[in-house]
Chain A
Amino acid sequence: MSRRHPHWLRAIVAVFVTAVFFLPLYLVLVNVFKSGDTIVMDPAGLPVPPTLDNIRQVLTRPDHLFWYGLVNSVEVTAVSVTILTVLSAMCGHYVARNTGLGPRIMMIIMLAGLMIPPAVILTPITDVLRATGLMTSVAGLVLVNVGYYVPFGVFVFAGFVKTIPIEIEEAAALDGASQLRVFWQCVFPLLRPASASVMIFLGVWVWNDFLNPLIILGPAEGTTVTVGIYRAIGEHQQDFGAVFALMFLATLPILLLYLVFQKHFVKGLTGGASKG
């Protein structure tokens, strides 16, 4: 094959385009470690010497906005994702292994849920939560998350279960294992790649969610870190350093999670792109 351009030219263009794209994130990263007046004077410069004042200020806020938010976010995300993984794996297995009319209709109804905008259903959801006494509670938010995101999990798991030979399950069933035992001991361990994709996707979505926690947790009972950022910008509009530091800290856990599971994330995303 003939090359029209030497490959370093492509590399230079690629690095330049990526650098332009990355500029907004660069501005946040450097300004987290700069003092307020340096940010205004020289927003694009490197933080020399770096200061941890902004981060310290966020961590020691008198209203503990960051710490309360962090606890709520971790709680909501961990519990939602755990329940979602278990329920959608079981439901995905059920839908994939039962080919009757009922399961097929159930799958279609669930797939339709993937495109329902949260704003459409939020008002009635608050009614349901008020009626059950779960409004402004973490439990309420978790249940809403599970109900809203379960179609995505079912979709991923159902596709994956179909790639597992049914003979494994038949063998276990013949040996006398109960339904649940067949699932937990034979099927679920084989679903690990699907579980990883589902957990990382839903982890990111639940952590980053804004509208649901804003409305359901309400102002009184504390917020998640994501909503905390929104509340903080109202207070100190001009103090970019503090806001950037809060965003940096609020994003760090989910960014680390993403970096650790990156492979699964991209695989889950592109599984359908190459196969169609």
Chain B
Amino acid sequence: MAVTGASSRVETARARASRDVRPSRYRVRTRLGSFGVFGAPALALYACFVLLPVAVTVYHSLTNHNPYHPPTQWVGLRNYRLLAADADFHKVLTNTVLITAIVTVAANALGLAVAVLLDRRGWLYNTLRGVFFTPVVLSSVVVSVIWQAILTDDGLLNSALRQLGVDHPPGWLSDPDVALYTLAWIIVWQMLGFCVVVFLAGLQGVPQELHEAAAIDGAGPVQRFRRVAWPLLAPALTINTVMLLISGFKVYDQVQVITNGGPGNGTTSTIAFEVIQTGLVGNRIGYASAVATVMLVVVAVVSTAALRLLQRREVTA
């Protein structure tokens, strides 16, 4: 008893001594990186080229700014009132929401199906996974040009269809009723590999014991997927959905390269395309800024809401 008491007294004394010698953890920590050297340069560039421009866009949306028609005047919410009544804007908004919805649902569903199919080890499946991922590292310009060559009226697909005896193959990119869906498909094709890889990582993170336990309990493959793998894929679904939503709302490249907003009047025009056309090309910066501000709010609200909702259903094994 006495011995242990003495040793613990020695222990505390030693601890006290070492605490006196060492600078406090707080002091060391502040020495490990100060704002001025470590945080400021990145923040400054971010402020210059993202935060300030966002503020300017919101400000411009409340003016009639047009560099070729000075002076710039404060117009309050007039641009937003015009937007609310603008049929073209409604069209563009519908297009964007439709593309985003199709891309989010289709890329997730197909991505999951392919991931389940490729969820095996070995060189063959590694290679196939690599093939699916290739479009992700390609520029959307490259992807657009490839699909344009395939899908134009006398492109590779329709030539093949004609040889198969189809007299009037669809105008994939020239039919106003079809072009938007074609565009969405092209984006799905490019994004698919991303979803596949993320879902595969999720599938391979499911502990084998859980599968075995479920199998012993008599669960078939379908039930095992539904009850074991699917709940554990929740984080993967969150990542994919948020990523697809954000990239769906900002679709620009494919529209600019493939359809230029057509065929006809804005049948495939997206919000991002409209912002650039009205603002940088048409110089109606006030109005374009209002469109951009609406876009910003929609992206922020939808992706934050999706993130919250999806994270709520995430569980751990």
Task: Evaluate contact between A124 and B57: CB separation under 8 angstroms.
Answer: yes
Task: Evaluate contact between A147 and B35: CB separation under 8 angstroms.
Answer: no
How far, in angstroms, from A148 to B135 measured CA to CA in the complex? 23
Task: Evaluate contact between A179 and B37: CB separation under 8 angstroms.
Answer: yes
Please report the total number of A residues contacting B with Cβ < 8 Å.
Answer: 99
**Category for how many chain B residues contact A:** 35 or more
Determine the chain A residues whose CB is within 8 A of the CB of B212 once the complex forms.
1
Contact of B139 (CB < 8 Å), options: A116, A244, A251: A251
Q: List 8 A-B contacts (CB under 8 A).
A: A4-B221, A21-B192, A113-B51, A116-B50, A121-B54, A124-B57, A147-B45, A210-B257
Question: Is B82's CB within 8 Å of the partner chain A?
Answer: no
Determine the chain B residues whose CB is within 8 A of the CB of A90 once the complex forms.
33, 37-39, 41-42
Contact of A120 (CB < 8 Å), options: B57, B118, B125, B150: B57
**Chain A contacts with B in 7-49, Cβ cutoff 8 A:** 7, 10-11, 13-15, 17-18, 21-22, 24-25, 27-28, 43-44
Q: Find the A residue at minimum CB distance from B200.
A: A270
Task: Evaluate contact between B132 and A24: CB separation under 8 angstroms.
Answer: no
Contact of A110 (CB < 8 Å), options: B35, B46, B160: B46
Contact of A207 (CB < 8 Å), options: B139, B204, B211, B249: B139
How far, in angstroms, from A215 to B277 measured CA to CA in the complex? 12
How far, in angstroms, from A146 to B43 measured CA to CA in the complex? 10
Closest Cβ of chain B to A47, distance in Å, is: 15
Determine the chain A residues whose CB is within 8 A of the CB of B141 once the complex forms.
208, 210, 226-227, 229-230
Question: Is B174's CB within 8 Å of the partner chain A?
Answer: no
How many A-B contacts at CB < 8 Å in the complex? Answer: 290
Q: Dominant SS at the B interface?
A: helix
Task: Evaluate contact between B28 and A174: CB separation under 8 angstroms.
Answer: yes
Give A254-276 as 1s and 0s: 1 = Cβ < 8 Å from B's Cβ atoms: 11001000100110011011111
How far, in angstroms, from A103 to B30 measured CA to CA in the complex? 12
Which of A18, A230, A254 has the most chain B CB atoms closer than 10 A to its own CB?
Answer: A18
Question: Is A52's CB within 8 Å of the partner chain B?
Answer: no
Task: Evaluate contact between A120 and B257: CB separation under 8 angstroms.
Answer: no
Q: Find the B residue at minimum CB distance from A146.
A: B45
Question: Is B156's CB within 8 Å of the partner chain A?
Answer: yes
